[in-house]
Amino acid sequence: MAGTNHVAVLGAGSWGTALACHLAGRGGKIKLWARRPELVKQIKACRENKRYLPGIILPENIQVTGDLAGALAGAKYIVFSVPSHSFREVLKSALPVIREDALIVNTAKGIEEDTMLRLSEVYTSQAGARRAGNYVVLSGPSHAEEVALNMPTAVVVASPSRTTAEKAQDLFMMDNFRVYTNPDVIGVEIGGALKNVIALGTGIVDGLSGSDNAKAALMTRGLAEITRLGMAMHANPLTFAGLAGLGDLIVTCTSMHSRNRRAGIEIGRGKKLAEALAGVNMVVEGVRTTRAAYGLARRWGVEMPITEQMYRVLFQSMPPEEAVNNLMARVKTHEVEEVALSKIKWWIERN
């Protein structure tokens, strides 16, 4: 098997399946790994992932497998599309089989809940700093359902090494799929993970009242607090105005494809968290990320009022109406903080 140079996509949920179909468009072999044997069997039987991406027929050059080592052996490109909470576990099993020069692209959007680590930090903690140079984050506004139908989409790939980022750019960039590079891994990871918290919130507003004003306020002030946290963690503030920040926030807060938004709508309509999640039946990353973001805000001493109210609604049974009232009753403040302006100046001078 060694030397086959194929692409291995790990995780046959909606995103892994859509990306496998996308990558199949450039030819060559794609191995799509699923953990559950029944899913492998189902996809093999009809060349369609009926649970996670119904209606899309998998191209012939995708081989679906439940054998992780077999999927990875000889793979030159490895795309991780498993939920954030299972990234460490899958990575641990995969690492002994991954060849040293393979490009690793992680497409998950989340923060590890207990450790509050970004997924690139999880990667380095497992793979070691020596192998960190081959790691790329792919993020941006990109619902699987639309990518699988080849609808125009733009994403960003982040790595401190431009050469590594460009390898991922070359792998993924095709007609109707534009890929930008960005050296700011922290900003891209924080933007991609935390927009899910805000999407749960705008979903709740949809379920409560549908107020467009309230949703616009949540999105805008949500981006402000995501940027504030990102800056404290040494991200480039301008990343949050890009595809992994504003771009993904817009799509997730407005699309009915969004699982975070849909779960939020059900909570706004009065369902308990567990019921709302059961209704969506796919990963809703924003729930675990809310807990992690709440912890990060405390660790970094950053004010994140929307995240804090989301934490109370999701984990402390606060009625959503009360959360809205709390946000509206906050002490008056300025829109643009001096500290933000000085940080932007610092970034521009540094780069």
Ligand X SMILES: NC(=O)C1=CN([C@@H]2O[C@H](COP(=O)(O)OP(=O)(O)OC[C@H]3O[C@@H](n4cnc5c(N)ncnc54)[C@H](O)[C@@H]3O)[C@@H](O)[C@H]2O)C=CC1
Ligand Y SMILES: O=C(CO)COP(=O)(O)O
Which residues are the active-site residues? Answer: 195
Q: How far apart are CA 133 and CA 125, in angstroms?
A: 13
CB nearer to ligand X: pick between 193 and 323: 193
Q: How many residues contact ligand Y, by CB under 6 A?
A: 14
Of 229, 221, 230, give the one whose Cα is nearest residue 253: 221
Contact (Cβ atoms closer than 8 angstroms) between residue 290 and residue 197: yes
28 appears as a binding residue in the annotation: no
Q: How far apart are CA 257 and CA 336, in angstroms?
A: 32
Is residue 141 at the binding interface for ligand Y, with CB under 6 A as the rule? yes
* Candidate list 74, 285, 290, 307; residue touching ligand Y; CB under 6 A: 285
332 appears as a binding residue in the annotation: no
For the CA atoms of 66, 72, 73, 76, the dihedral, rounded to the nearest 10 degrees, stands at 150
The partner in contact with residue 141, picked from ligand X, ligand Y, none with C-beta cut-offs of 5 to 8 angstroms by kind, is: ligand Y
* Backbone region of residue 311 per phi and psi (left: phi > 0; alpha: psi in -120 to 50; beta: other values): alpha
Contact (Cβ atoms closer than 8 angstroms) between residue 243 and residue 184: no
338 appears as a binding residue in the annotation: no
Residue 303 per-residue DSSP state: -
CB nearer to ligand X: pick between 107 and 134: 107
The partner in contact with residue 108, picked from ligand X, ligand Y, none with C-beta cut-offs of 5 to 8 angstroms by kind, is: ligand X
Residue 78 per-residue DSSP state: E
The partner in contact with residue 89, picked from ligand Y, ligand X, none with C-beta cut-offs of 5 to 8 angstroms by kind, is: ligand X
Nearest approach, Cβ of residue 89 and ligand X (Å) = 5
47 appears as a binding residue in the annotation: no
Nearest approach, Cβ of residue 260 and ligand X (Å) = 8
* Candidate list 17, 106, 252, 290; residue touching ligand Y; CB under 6 A: 252
Parallel/antiparallel/unpaired status of strands 30-33 and 135-139: unpaired
Contact (Cβ atoms closer than 8 angstroms) between residue 164 and residue 106: no
Is residue 251 at the binding interface for ligand Y, with CB under 6 A as the rule? yes
DSSP 305-327: HHHHHHHHHHHS---HHHHHHHH
Is residue 191 at the binding interface for ligand Y, with CB under 6 A as the rule? no
36 appears as a binding residue in the annotation: yes
By CB under 6 A, what part of segment 97-116 binds ligand Y?
Answer: 109
189 appears as a binding residue in the annotation: no
| β partners of residue 325 | none
Of 224, 229, 223, 204, give the one whose Cα is nearest residue 214: 204
The partner in contact with residue 242, picked from ligand X, ligand Y, none with C-beta cut-offs of 5 to 8 angstroms by kind, is: none
Q: What is the amino acid identity at position 93?
A: S
Helix (H, G, I), strand (E, B) or coil at 282: coil
Nearest approach, Cβ of residue 324 and ligand X (Å) = 26
* Candidate list 184, 248, 266, 308; residue touching ligand Y; CB under 6 A: 248
**Footprint of ligand X on this chain (CB under 6 A)?**
11-16, 34-36, 52, 81-84, 86, 89-90, 107-110, 142-144, 282-283, 285
109 appears as a binding residue in the annotation: yes
Of 275, 247, 254, give the one whose Cα is nearest residue 263: 275
Question: Where does this chain touch ligand Y (CB under 6 A) — which range of 40-48, 75-83, 129-137, 253-261?
Answer: 253-261
Q: Tell me the per-residue interface mask from 44 to 73 with ligand Y, x by CB under 6 A, - otherwise.
A: ------------------------------
Of 33, 49, 151, 26, give the one whose Cα is nearest residue 86: 33
Q: Which two three-digit tokens encode residue 293? A: 């973001």
Residue 174 per-residue DSSP state: B
Nearest approach, Cβ of residue 249 and ligand X (Å) = 13
Question: Where does this chain touch ligand Y (CB under 6 A) — which range of 53-61, 119-127, 207-215, 257-265?
Answer: 257-265
Q: How far apart are CA 173 and CA 162, in angstroms?
A: 15
Residue numbering of the annotated binding site for NADPH: 14-15, 35-36, 52, 109, 144, 259, 283, 285
Q: Which residues bind ligand Y (CB under 6 A)?
A: 109, 141-143, 196, 199, 248, 251-252, 257-260, 285
